[in-house]
Structure formats: structure tokens, C-alpha cells
Amino acid sequence: MRTSDEMTTREYWESSHTVSPRPRLPSSFLVSTRNLNRLLRREIRAGMEVLEIGCAPGKHLVWVTKVLGARTACVDYSRRGMEFARKLFDVLGVEGDLRCENVFSTTFPPEQFDVVYSVGVIEHFKDPRPVVRKHVELLKPGGKALIVIPHYGGVYGRFQQYFDPENLKIHNTDIMTVSKLADLAPRDLSGEVTAAAMGRISPWLISFEKKWPRVLAHAVRLCTNAVGLLQPFDIRPLCPFLVLSIVRKNQVLA
């Protein structure tokens, strides 16, 4: 089931999952992995019920399960991506409730999870407010939604516009400021709402290989990744992610 607001198709996501991920946790030598792990480690504790929306192929969710000790679940509508995620969970010997469903018609009940998060999902909608609302509806009162999107509103967007403008077209760059991201929170369900730039410099948002020879693109990516790993603190203009954090109001709707 695809909504008219989506800027991508199911076929696009199926085609993006062509290779089964290596049966291991995400590499800590990738600055993008460290950025996300740092965020999730701050918010997730052992025993929490955690849902990832759009988890395929499951690399970060399996880390949350195995390392942070959360009880995890996922909803994603890519059949091939979910096959890869189930295989990854099986090989690494961890359990998770992985459902191949559209989030708007998911069988997960509302008010079930302590944390609901997504990485790179809502920016593929012309109007992201309904999918943001869905994150919050799935939370227990007092639970927290963490919504991570690429920061194509700044320097990364200018680079990507040069290297891969077609890819940029499937991203809603209009929401990629702190203030506009915060405005997406459903006010009737939301308690504390914050939005901020996050992360060390990362080359993984830029499709260098679209313009440069593959060897040069790979070398630039490795060098920039090394800089990000050595970077001691976030520098706002170079942050690759924007994060919307929403705490659900401490009340159960009738």
C-alpha cells in the first residue's frame, strides 16, 4: 500500500536491497554507524521495547538488540529487505518481531513501545506529518520518538545537488531545518519536542561516484570518514543528520 504522498515507490526500495548484508554488527569504523549508535545508546536501555520504522536490512536494529539489550521490533514494507533482516537476526542468534507491513496499516497496536525510531524515512514524503504522527501513536505515554533524517538542507545538499541531483529529488528538503522539523510534531500527542543537528562529518550522504571515477570517490570517502572518526565533537554546519525527538504526553487517549 503506497500513499500518494510518497516520493519513492516500493520498487525503489526493493531495488536498493540487492545484496544480503554481511552477518555481523554494523562496523564501528564507519562514522555514520558511530553517529547513530551514539544517539541510540543515549536513549535506549536494556529491557526497553523498541520499534524501528523502516529497518531493512536490519543492521542497526540487530545492534540495538544484541548490544543494548532491548526487546526489538520492526516494520518495513520491502519484502526483500525484510528477508535480509530476518536472515541477519537468525545468523547472529537474536530475536526480534520483524513485520513486513506498511506502517500506516501495521498490526502493531498503539501505545506499545518505549522508543520508536527511524533513520531516513520521513523525508521521502511530501507531507511527513502523518508518518511522524504514527511514530508517536505507537509510543507508550512518556515514551520517546527519535526521527533521524539526512541534513541535505546545508552543505551536504549542495554537494549532492552537484553529484546526484536525481537522488536529491526523492528527498523532501523543505523540512530540513531545525525549526521546520520541530513543526512536524503532532501537538495533541506531544510533550517535549526538540530538533537539532547531530553527528561528526560523514561522506556517506554524497554520491561521489556519480561524477568521479570510482577509485577517486572511494579514496575521498575513506579520507573523510577518517576525519569524522577523529573529530572530537559535533560541528553544526558539518553535522550529517537532523534529529527530531518527541516525548509522548503522559496520558492515555480515550
Residues of the chain with pLDDT under 70: 1-4, 251-254
For residue 17, what pLDDT is reported? 86
Domain annotation covers residue 135: yes
Domain annotation covers residue 70: yes
**Cell output for 199:** 553527528
pTM tops 0.85: yes
For residue 253, what pLDDT is reported? 46
Domain annotation covers residue 4: no
End-to-end alpha carbon distance in the chain? 28
For residue 114, what pLDDT is reported? 98
For residue 14, what pLDDT is reported? 86
Report the alpha-carbon distance of residue 24 to residue 33 in Å, rounded: 13
Domain annotation covers residue 253: no
Domain annotation covers residue 114: yes
For residue 1, what pLDDT is reported? 39
- The H-or-E segment that residue 246 falls in is strand 241-248
**Cell output for 35:** 553517529
For residue 119, what pLDDT is reported? 98
For residue 149, what pLDDT is reported? 98
Backbone angles phi, psi at 209, to 5 degrees: -70, -10
For residue 134, what pLDDT is reported? 98
Judged by DSSP in three states, 201 sits in coil
Domain annotation covers residue 123: yes
Domain annotation covers residue 3: no
- Which domain range does residue 82 map to? 10-247
Domain containing 21 — which CATH number?
3.40.50.150
For residue 138, what pLDDT is reported? 98
Domain annotation covers residue 203: yes
For residue 246, what pLDDT is reported? 98
For residue 3, what pLDDT is reported? 55
As for how many domains the chain has, the answer is 1
Could you report the per-residue pLDDT of 62-74, keeping only the tens digit for each? 999 999 999 999 9
